[in-house]
Structure 1
Amino acid sequence: MGEGSGYKEYVAGMLAGVSIVVVGHPFDTVKLQKHNTEGNGMKYKSSLHCTSRILQTEGVKGLYRGATSSFLGMAFESSLAFGIYSQMKQFLQGGLNSEKPRPQAIVPSAAFAGAIISFILCPSELIKCRMQVQGTDSSLTSIRYSSPVDCALKTVQTEGLTGMFRGGGATLLRESIGNAVFFSTYEYVRYHMHQPMGHISSNLSHFIDVGVGIMSGGLGGIMCWCVVLPLDVAKTITQTSMDRDSTRNPFQILQAIYKRSGFKGCYTGLGPTILRAFPANAAAIVTWEMAVKLLGIKRE
């Protein structure tokens, strides 16, 4: 990144976050709805069957249940993630542009950005998960929420302010590790894909950049979720459980899941998550890089 870009990196990151929700939220809804209704004795033949059921009963709106808090949370999260990562990476590189990715700058920058955004993301995801779980086919909880604000108020009333940060430890670990994996994969794939294309006509550069953005962002998303999905499973269980006395330690939760369902249980929802990860993160990187160009931020 070039010097003096300042707030522009955060604006570009915010736009990337919006694109993630537009593309990825329906996948989240299907994954959570399918998992929780099956836990209550109902069976969907497939994720496609679950999607069609939601569309039949609630329409397209049903796929975006809980999306309001997602748009707000992801916009802030992505803005901080990309902004903090970009500026900290530049600082660790001594303000110098580096031709090759430098893991000693990439990893700590990404992990630090992930740690910061986890404090914003945790309450947002708690609201999103609880709104999604109370779908028309789920009887997981007797508490009904009329809106995200109602969900937040009832959570605070019943569990106190700290209830909004239920699952915070798992979120912190997931975001720190996940961001380090995502940005490392993105930087290396982007670098190695651009290398052999250095002499291609500038008329094709826009299409090349979009293609590289799709692949680097998509693969970054897949690698990230392959590493941190068990932490996300533990986080979701923690946030949607109405039992105040249940453990919030993600490793104890995963240990219990492993004893009950084996390694497969720790990767519940892997298929839909991977299906979501590629297009959602590809959209984020393409949007991010287009915004970087439009805002005039210099890149190495």
Structure 2
Amino acid sequence: MADHGPKSDISLAGTFASSAFAACFAELCTIPLDTAKVRLQLQKKAVAGDGGALPKYRGMIGTVGTIAREEGLSALWKGIVPGLHRQCLFGGLRIGMYEPVKAFYVGDNFVGDVPLSKKVLAALTTGAVAIAIANPTDLVKVRLQAEGKLPPGVPRRYSGALNAYSTIVRQEGVGALWTGLGPNVARNAIINAAELASYDQIKQTILKVPGFTDNVFTHLLSGLGAGFFAVCIGSPVDVGPLAFYKGFIPNFGRLGSWNVIMFLTLEQVKATNLSHDNFGALLYSISSVW
């Protein structure tokens, strides 16, 4: 039998919906860490431009605490709506298309374990296609998160996610929604390959160890491994090779927790085989974020 992963009766639409749901749930749980990461990145640029400026935020946890204390807990979820928009599209497409694209690359007559190279190629493909479609949601998410650092009394450009989309189109043109597409495609394709291919490979390897089965513990270990490799491979893209180890812990805190939550949720949702009733409820919960 070809090793394309466990066979399932889930349709392509069901796979997309389950992937989008898992990605959205992980985003909801971990976006405070992402908000802190964006603030730290913006602060680094500001401090670099002003040698005398003292950093306001220190460390991932310290930044989370500072934001919560000064701006309220809700500020940590600033950008959650476009974040969920992003995961509906990007997460649903990159994760949901992975198995079909991987099967396409190896061919219908393939027998045995899928080579790691094919897994990487499939994940690179789905990551690139997904972010090309979801780039506007990425742009709006980052802009809304960045607005949270503005001092009190300074007018905000956007009142919310939908207003941000319309304002950007009106003031900057439709093409502005795809600002930074090239670097975004490169970055997200690489990180997607690190996450999905490593999860697939680690899980496949673990299941060959006597005593291990396709259960929550296996999914947990595989998710942690996927997060670790995503940081190892993706951090140099984000922060530069020289700053890689300095930012490893906060990056792993974000990506590691995101991958564990996402893959655990995805495996559990897929295990239900998405009956028609469950599928309808899942689609409704996803559509509600829009």
* Range class of TM-score, shorter chain: 0.7 to 0.9
How far is 1:104 from its partner? Answer: 4.1
How far is 1:289 from its partner? Answer: 1.1
How far is 1:99 from its partner? Answer: 5.3
d(CA) in 2 for partners of 1:102, 1:280:
26
CA gap 1:2/1:296 in 2 versus in 1, 3 angstroms: farther
Match of 1:5 in 2: 10
d(CA) in 2 for partners of 1:165, 1:171:
9
Say if 1:101 and 1:187, in contact at 8 Å, map to a contact too. no
> Structure 2: which 5+ runs fail to align?
1-5, 48-52, 276-290
Match of 1:291 in 2: 269
Are 2:252 and 1:274 aligned?
A: yes
Superposition CA RMSD, Å: 2.8
TM-score (norm 2): 0.79
Q: Secondary structure at the match of 2:189?
A: helix
Q: Secondary structure at the match of 1:196?
A: coil
CA gap 1:53/1:231 in 2 versus in 1, 3 angstroms: same
Candidates 216, 221, 238, aligned match of 2:222: 216
CA gap 1:105/1:280 in 2 versus in 1, 3 angstroms: same
TM-score (norm 1): 0.77
d(CA) in 2 for partners of 1:31, 1:225:
13
Larger mean CA deviation between 147-156 and 114-123 belongs to 147-156
Match of 1:67 in 2: 80
Are 2:276 and 1:263 aligned?
A: no
Q: 1:220 corresponds to which letter in structure 2? A: A
Q: 1:59 corresponds to which letter in structure 2? A: G
d(CA) in 1 for partners of 2:58, 2:65:
11
How far is 1:47 from its partner? Answer: 2.4
Say if 1:156 and 1:164, in contact at 8 Å, map to a contact too. yes
d(CA) in 2 for partners of 1:49, 1:178:
26
Match of 1:92 in 2: 105
Are 2:53 and 1:17 aligned?
A: no
Q: 2:263 corresponds to which letter in structure 1? A: I
Q: 2:18 corresponds to which letter in structure 1? A: A
d(CA) in 2 for partners of 1:170, 1:178:
12
**Stretches of 4+ aligned residues off by more than 6 angstroms:** none
Match of 2:147 in 1: 134
d(CA) in 1 for partners of 2:41, 2:266:
32
Q: Secondary structure at the match of 2:113?
A: coil
Are 2:25 and 1:47 aligned?
A: no
Residue by residue, what CA displacement relative to the aligned partner does 1:183-237 show, whole Å, maximum 9, x if unpaired? 2211221122222245x6xxxx5xx62111122122212212322234345xxxx
Match of 2:168 in 1: 155
What does residue range 83-232 of structure 1 map to in structure 2 within 5 Å?
83-95=96-108, 100-137=113-150, 144-198=157-211, 209-232=215-238
How far is 1:117 from its partner? Answer: 0.5
What does residue range 234-253 of structure 1 map to in structure 2 within 5 Å?
none
Counting matched residue pairs gives: 261
Match of 1:240 in 2: none
How far is 1:267 from its partner? Answer: 7.5
Q: 2:134 corresponds to which letter in structure 1? A: L
Q: Percent identity?
A: 22
CA gap 1:95/1:12 in 2 versus in 1, 3 angstroms: farther
d(CA) in 2 for partners of 1:174, 1:45:
25
Q: 1:190 corresponds to which letter in structure 2? A: K
How far is 1:100 from its partner? Answer: 2.9
Q: 2:249 corresponds to which letter in structure 1? A: G
d(CA) in 1 for partners of 2:193, 2:72:
37
How far is 1:20 from its partner? Answer: 1.9
Residue by residue, what CA displacement relative to the aligned partner does 1:7-58 show, whole Å, maximum 9, x if unpaired? 2221221122112202221111011123324525342233222211211233
